Amino acid sequence: MRGPENQEEKVPAAMTTALLLVTEGPQTPPLAADLASLGIHVLGASDGVNLVREVARQVPDVLVCWTPSPDAALLAALAALRDTAPLPVALFTLDADVTLMEGALDSGVHAYVVSGYGLARLRPTLHLAQLRFRRESRLRREMQELGERFEERKLVDRAKGILMRATQVSEDEAFRVLRTASMHVNQRVGQVSRQIIDAAHHAESVNRAGQLRMLSQRLVKLHALRCANADEAGATRLLAQSVQRAEQTLAHLERSLSRPTFGDLVDAVKGTWRELKAELDAEPRRVRLRELDEHAERLMTQAEQLTLSLETAGSTPPLHVINVCGRQRMLSQRLAKQALLTTLLPRDVAAAIAEAAAETQARFEQAMTHLAGIPLSSAEIREGQELALQEWRRLLDGVQRVHGPAGRLLLAEASEALLEQLDRLTERYERSMQTLIG
């Protein structure tokens, strides 16, 4: 392999630099000397194995190759260079095989000269390689920009759809919101759109995972109502709906969440859900309530871990508010469940459950106070908070009267009405402008 005698010579700023890749053989031209005579500084020489490293180290303006016949190893080296450190490539050869010619062009060769090496043609050939390289680079940038604009348009359309559904505004108004937000944060509309899409995805995931916490408690409450012969027909109907809702929620989370990131948490929830569902399929019996509740408590804990992980992954303050509000759904069903269990389980167990119920009540009321004091609010959200508090007071009345049939019916009705209000309130937080834009 040939190379210049003095590779450490300082190169003038305006001089073209070249790296050589030469395969010794018949009619090997004096490339280094010929390039030097044309005012082109040869930085050194390389073989195919070290080509990418040498180009990255010496940063030549052009790569000049000579080989009697390009082989697969040479084309592979040129392809690796094309993908990692592209630059203009001129290749001189004696082989006129069209298949090799096509392979060379695919590998990033810009000037392929067959049996045409000559000093007079050398400089124009290098100019041709450089011009083709610049043209390819410009076309590649233009194609990339076109693709980015197309992807950005799709992001904008999706973000507009999210804003239109969340805030009931027109398409023009949704775009105005996007444009205003982009100017406010000094980002492209496409970047803001992606953030809105991501925020909506995270908010929905936190909401859905939080529903599993609630369903774990609601299912036991409904089962307990059946055991107590209170609103048995309604409890049976709602129990079937809750089972279906849990199945759908799990399926959605499994589809939408990253398997490497959240797969272990989802699998844990699924495993416990199967155990709980098997208990629910049995006839309602008081003696099975404690075991059923143990499965439900384990499911609630695992769903809580998943929800907190999703909240942390989203890394935005509004997700915490969605999680807090969503947890209120679980606490409402938990209190109703605990009140019923105090009437259905042995006295020593019931006493411990009554103490836990007092803690559940305190947690719910503290969270409502917290939600009322945060700035992430609107007239619609404040109205939802007030309606939830009204149903909460009715639920507390039912808890106080749970030992009588009328009290159990009130508890059943108020807990479902409160759940409906909290579902709506959580969705309002999920779809609020502060969640999507903030």
Residue 254 has a pLDDT of 94
pLDDT of 376 over the 70 cut:
no
Q: Tokens in use for 199?
A: 């925020």
Q: Tokens in use for 416?
A: 């479902």
Mean pLDDT computed over every residue of the chain: 88
Q: Which residues contact residue 299 at a Cβ distance below 8 angstroms, ignoring those fewer than 6 apart?
A: 212, 216, 269, 272, 273, 276
Burial environment of residue 268 by CB neighbours within 10 A (0 to 12, 13 to 18, 19 or more): middle
The C-alpha atoms of residue 253 and residue 49 are separated, in whole angstroms, by: 47
The C-alpha atoms of residue 394 and residue 115 are separated, in whole angstroms, by: 95
Q: Which residues contact residue 247 at a Cβ distance below 8 angstroms, ignoring those fewer than 6 apart?
A: none
> 6-22 pLDDT, tens per residue?
444 444 445 688 888 88
Residue 9 has a pLDDT of 46
> 20-55 pLDDT, tens per residue?
888 877 788 999 999 999 999 999 999 988 999 999
pLDDT of 360 over the 80 cut:
yes
CATH 3.40.50.20 fits 17-139, yes or no: no
Residue 264 has a pLDDT of 95
Stretch 374-379: mean pLDDT, rounded?
A: 74
pTM over 0.75: no
Residue 437 has a pLDDT of 63
Q: Residue type at 269? A: V
Q: Which residues contact residue 158 at a Cβ distance below 8 angstroms, ignoring those fewer than 6 apart?
A: 193, 197
The C-alpha atoms of residue 250 and residue 242 are separated, in whole angstroms, by: 12
- Which of these, 23, 15, 18, 16, lies nearest to 7 by C-alpha position? 18
pLDDT of 431 over the 80 cut:
no
- pLDDT band for 62, please (50, 70, 90 cuts): very high
- Name residue 91's beta-bridge partners: 65, 112
> 235-264 pLDDT, tens per residue?
999 999 999 999 999 999 999 999 999 999
Q: Tokens in use for 215?
A: 């369903």
Order of strands, edge to edge, in the sheet holding 41-45?
A: 41-45, 17-22, 62-67, 89-93, 111-114
Residue 435 has a pLDDT of 57
> 271-294 pLDDT, tens per residue?
999 999 998 887 778 878 999 999
- 35-48 b/e (C-beta count within 10 Å ≥ 16 → b): beeeebbbbbbbeb
- Range from 34-43, 316-325, 426-435 carrying the lowest mean pLDDT: 426-435
Residue 288 has a pLDDT of 86
**Cα–Cα distances in angstroms (integers) from residue 430 to residues 72, 267, 360, in the given order:** 57, 25, 24
- Which of these, 224, 209, 205, 217, lies nearest to 242 by C-alpha position? 217
Residue 14 has a pLDDT of 54
The C-alpha atoms of residue 421 and residue 329 are separated, in whole angstroms, by: 9
